[in-house]
Amino acid sequence: MKAIVNILFSFFVINHGSAQSYSVTTNESDSFSKAFIQLLRCAADRFENCKGKFLQYTALQENEFELTIPFPESAASIVRFSESDKNVYVEFREFENKESLVKGMYSLIDKIGKALNGGIIEPAIVGIDDKGGMQIAAVSIRDGNGYYQSNIELLTGSSSNTYLLPASRVKGDTSEKYFILLKIYGGIPAYYHNISGDVKSPDKSIEYLLKKLILSAKNDFNSLDEQQPRQLKKKVERYLSNKWSKNL
């Protein structure tokens, strides 16, 4: 039975194990595009090379550092390091009402799309009709072969001080204002390949035997007769042999 599992694992790796290199570039020269692309590149090493001096520690958020990348039009930007959260947050403020806040979200989405040369899946803004709640938009990077799992988010809120900074560091106007947080997740996001139109469904007999194999696992495979694992092994080997010969 272990041999069957090894064959199936090899089949999975051959067909699905190819990794997509994480590479983000821009054709734009404006300050937002350059800062944004630099930030996405820093995400690959979880912002280790983009965190500046220590800012504060809180019991809820743990360690926060200044972001070393100057971000145009932002009120503040931080790198947040905790056990489960190694992300960057950039705050945009001065939105007087929900209408201007939503316009600001669309404007940021347009800027993100421009910075990525149009290579995004256009997001929907969740909560856009909820006047009292939060608005959220998740952006995924795409290319000609597929797309990355969303690692870019826009979140809204309101506060009387700059939301990301300790109150002791806030100076000037402290009236209640709406803000948008641009959040970039640390790490390299998962990549999903497009499925081409010529993909065919697997052999029905293999599908049946695989299903039977999975269902029998809970009973330590005692429900399988001796011939079935051998049949499955032969079918998988024959399938792989045909696939390899076509690629030669």
Q: Among 137-151, 162-176, 199-213, 227-241, which stretch is predicted with the lowest mean pLDDT?
A: 227-241
| Residues 131, 206 within the same domain | no
131 plus 183 within the same structural domain: yes
- State which H helix or E strand residue 227 sits in: helix 227-247
**Residue 64 token pair:** 């926060």
Residue 14 has pLDDT above 50, yes or no: no
Work out the angle at residue 106's Cα, subtended by the Cα atoms of residues 104 and 108, and round it to the nearest 5 degrees: 70
How much of the chain is in helix, strand and coil states, percent to nearest 5?
35, 25, 40
**Is 196 within a domain?**
no
Residues 207 and 183 occupy one common structural domain: no
Q: What stretches of the chain adopt beta strand conformation (E)?
A: 51-58, 62-67, 76-81, 86-95, 120-121, 136-141, 146-148, 152-159, 177-185, 191-193
Does residue 25 register a pLDDT over 80? yes
Considering the domain boundaries, does residue 161 fall inside one? yes
**Whether residue 15 has pLDDT greater than 60:** no
Q: Give dist(CA 181, CA 50) in Å, integer.
A: 18
Share of the chain above pLDDT 70, in %: 71
- Domain shared by 163 and 242, yes or no: no
**57 with 153, same domain?**
yes
CA angle 157, 147, 10 (to 5 degrees): 130
Same domain, 77 and 165: yes
Examine residue 103 and state whether it is found in any structural domain, yes or no: yes
More confident residue, 13 or 98: 98
- 14 and 37 fall within a common domain: no
Considering the domain architecture, whether residues 120 and 230 belong to the same structural domain is answered as no
- Chain segment 34-93, per-residue pLDDT in tens: 999 999 999 999 998 898 999 888 877 789 999 999 988 899 899 998 877 789 999 999
Residue 196: the pLDDT is 72
In the predicted model, what is the mean pLDDT of the chain?
Answer: 80
Would you say residue 45 lies in a domain?
A: yes
Q: Do 9 and 67 share a structural domain?
A: no
In this structure, the answer to whether residues 58 and 153 fall within a common structural domain is yes
Number of domains in the chain: 2
The answer to whether residues 60 and 175 belong to one domain is yes
**Better pLDDT: 215 or 182:** 182
Residues 164 and 209 in one domain: no
Predicted confidence (pLDDT) per residue in 96-115, tens digit? 888 899 999 999 999 999 99
Cross-sheet strand order for the sheet of 76-81: 51-58, 62-67, 76-81, 86-95, 177-185, 152-159, 136-141, 120-121
pLDDT level of residue 210 (50, 70, 90 thresholds): confident
Domain span at residue 217 reads 2-18+202-247
Domain assignment of residue 194, yes or no: no
**221-244 confidence digits (pLDDT tens):** 666 655 555 666 566 567 656 655
Which one of 188, 213, 235 terminates a domain?
188
The answer as to whether 25 is a domain residue is: no
